[in-house]
A and B are shown apart, each in its own frame.
Chain A
């Protein structure tokens, strides 16, 4: 049946995530804490708007679309997707408001936030696990890191929920000593490994390259397992027994090794590509990977110096993960739009190609500005320069607005000639009612 592996709610996830990104950046320009003060309420609110609202919602939306495609297995219970979207959205807003309440105004929302958030993430885990486990995902080179990422998501949520309850005097509390391990599991474990797993096969598709795999990918999975294990051990020890001093530096070295192996693997995929001129999403993947390399270089020092820790997390969240996500969002949106609009006419008339829906130069310009903002922000954190950091957020906001405008233009087929556009366009970000529900 047409589009049987298409998830209906992907663009709704993207729209929600993009709204969180724009809101976080708009708030960061006037309210971002100075370097070294990111554990204050405002800082925690901004970080979670970015990590949960923006990056996690994008990752969930993309995973629900591409896990069934990559594993050739339909998503179980796809009707849970909008419920999960609403619950994670509400949970993120409550969490951000709860963190702001730490600076005065009460912590009630902080205690409430884990409920919708946990329910929303739980529904996602049901759908993703229900696709990965029956497909034997642990035997698959791309499936292994995604399964590890799902385990890291559970631990990140459990530790974050515990710390939120600790802040409100709740019955289940996790010591703030767990914080570096919570951050490591969230950024490197959940977001990092999920990105790596999905990108292995997606990049091979976009570049028309052999689906690599093999020894290097198995070694990378081993390093990722080691990283997740060390971070989990640190989380388990925090607040109960003194964590050995070597634990966090060892985990950070493990993160750097995993990142290095992953970059080497993607470089191999890039070299073996059959697409002579990669599209803008893949060309702009290179600066994103440069930020991953930078974060990997900073990570071992981050274990002993908070300034480097903030810079490493910023380089990873903003430079690598957000840069990569924005670049791929352009591609995925154009691909899904093409399928929605033009696929029923295949074989019946001449059709535009997917890349014709995208203004390559405009996307390159906005993404370039994004990476410039990410570089400025990383440098400002390293130099402990508060004004520089706010300027970086302003640059990032302008770039994000530019990319959001391009995504809207793709959905409206604005870069095609009037004659090539159908009279009726699909909804901007809501599912099409006529589409098959699977």
Chain B
């Protein structure tokens, strides 16, 4: 739910992860596709700048750890999706949906 009080803390946690290449955080880079909260469960869908990104899995695991550390969240799941692909126009656009 987009109006859930835990949504913003989860987005804030994701904003704490800095892309080491660009210096932007995951949200500012436009790499977070969606954030869904159901009770104490958070489901996040993210992407990477290219499908074969060698850091994809490490970024996913890092995002999952950050979301799981949000008070009130007991179950965090972060998945990767690449369609439609990320483009530089996504930078600064925040969470896609």
B56-81 vs A, CB cutoff 8 Å, 1 = contact: the mask equals 11110111111000000000000000
A347-B62 contact, Cβ under 8 Å, with A210-B87, A274-B88: yes
Query: Smallest CB-CB separation from A274: which chain B residue?
Result: B88
The distance from the CB of A327 to the nearest CB of chain B, in whole angstroms, is 16
- A347 and B25 CA atoms in complex are apart in Å by 11
- A290 and B55 CA atoms in complex are apart in Å by 33
B54 near A339 with CB under 8 A, answer yes
Please provide the chain A residues from 85 to 102 with a CB less than 8 Å away from any CB of chain B in the complex. Answer: none
- A338 and B66 CA atoms in complex are apart in Å by 20
A4 near B64 with CB under 8 A, answer no
Which of under 10, 10 to 19, 20 to 34, or 35 or more describes the interface residues of B?
20 to 34
| Shortest beta-carbon contacts, A-B, top 3 | A347-B62, A346-B62, A72-B52
Residues of A within 8 A of B16 (CB): 347
Selected contact of A70 from candidates B17, B18, B50, B63, CB within 8 Å: B50
B87 near A3 with CB under 8 A, answer no
User: Which among A5, A201, A209, A346 has the greatest number of chain B C-beta atoms within 10 A?
Assistant: A346
Please provide the chain A residues from 1 to 56 with a CB less than 8 Å away from any CB of chain B in the complex. Answer: 1-6
A346-B17 contact, Cβ under 8 Å, with A205-B50, A208-B91: yes
Q: Is A157 an interface residue (CB 8 A)?
A: no
A6 near B17 with CB under 8 A, answer no
Give chain B's interface secondary structure class: loop
Selected contact of A5 from candidates B18, B52, B66, B89, CB within 8 Å: B52
A72 near B22 with CB under 8 A, answer no
Query: Smallest CB-CB separation from A331: which chain B residue?
Result: B21
A347 near B57 with CB under 8 A, answer no
Query: Smallest CB-CB separation from B66: which chain A residue?
Result: A347
- A339 and B53 CA atoms in complex are apart in Å by 11
Residues of B within 8 A of A209 (CB): 88
Please provide the chain B residues from 17 to 70 with a CB less than 8 Å away from any CB of chain A in the complex. Answer: 17-18, 20-23, 49-59, 61-66
Residues of B within 8 A of A345 (CB): 62
Q: Is A386 an interface residue (CB 8 A)?
A: no
Interface of A toward B, CB cutoff 8 Å = 1-6, 68-73, 201, 205, 208-210, 274-275, 335, 338-339, 342-348, 351-354
B23 near A4 with CB under 8 A, answer no
Selected contact of B55 from candidates A1, A68, A210, A339, CB within 8 Å: A339
Task: List 15 other contacts, CB 8 Å, given A2-B61, A347-B61, A353-B23.
Answer: A3-B58, A69-B54, A70-B52, A201-B50, A205-B50, A210-B88, A339-B58, A343-B55, A343-B58, A344-B58, A345-B62, A351-B18, A351-B20, A353-B18, A354-B20
Query: Smallest CB-CB separation from A208: which chain B residue?
Result: B88
Selected contact of B20 from candidates A1, A3, A274, A342, CB within 8 Å: A342
Query: Smallest CB-CB separation from B16: which chain A residue?
Result: A347
- A346 and B55 CA atoms in complex are apart in Å by 10
Query: Smallest CB-CB separation from B58: which chain A residue?
Result: A343
Query: Smallest CB-CB separation from A353: which chain B residue?
Result: B20
Number of A-B contacts (CB under 8 A): 77
Give chain A's interface secondary structure class: loop
- A76 and B55 CA atoms in complex are apart in Å by 20
- A2 and B80 CA atoms in complex are apart in Å by 13
A4 near B17 with CB under 8 A, answer no
B52 near A346 with CB under 8 A, answer no
* Subset of 26 A-B contacts with CB under 8 Å: A2-B57, A3-B57, A3-B58, A5-B52, A5-B53, A5-B54, A69-B54, A70-B52, A71-B52, A72-B51, A208-B91, A210-B87, A210-B88, A210-B89, A335-B21, A339-B58, A342-B20, A343-B55, A344-B58, A345-B62, A346-B61, A346-B62, A347-B16, A347-B63, A347-B66, A348-B62
Residues of B within 8 A of A68 (CB): 52
Residues of B within 8 A of A205 (CB): 49-50
A69 near B50 with CB under 8 A, answer yes
Residues of B within 8 A of A208 (CB): 22, 49, 88, 91
- A351 and B23 CA atoms in complex are apart in Å by 11
A346-B53 contact, Cβ under 8 Å, with A208-B22, A209-B88, A354-B21: no
User: Which among B52, B56, B62 has the greatest number of chain A C-beta atoms within 10 A?
Assistant: B52
Residues of B within 8 A of A73 (CB): 52
User: Which among B55, B59, B87, B89 has the greatest number of chain A C-beta atoms within 10 A?
Assistant: B55
A69 near B55 with CB under 8 A, answer no
Residues of A within 8 A of B64 (CB): 347
The distance from the CB of A346 to the nearest CB of chain B, in whole angstroms, is 3
The distance from the CB of A437 to the nearest CB of chain B, in whole angstroms, is 15
- A209 and B88 CA atoms in complex are apart in Å by 6
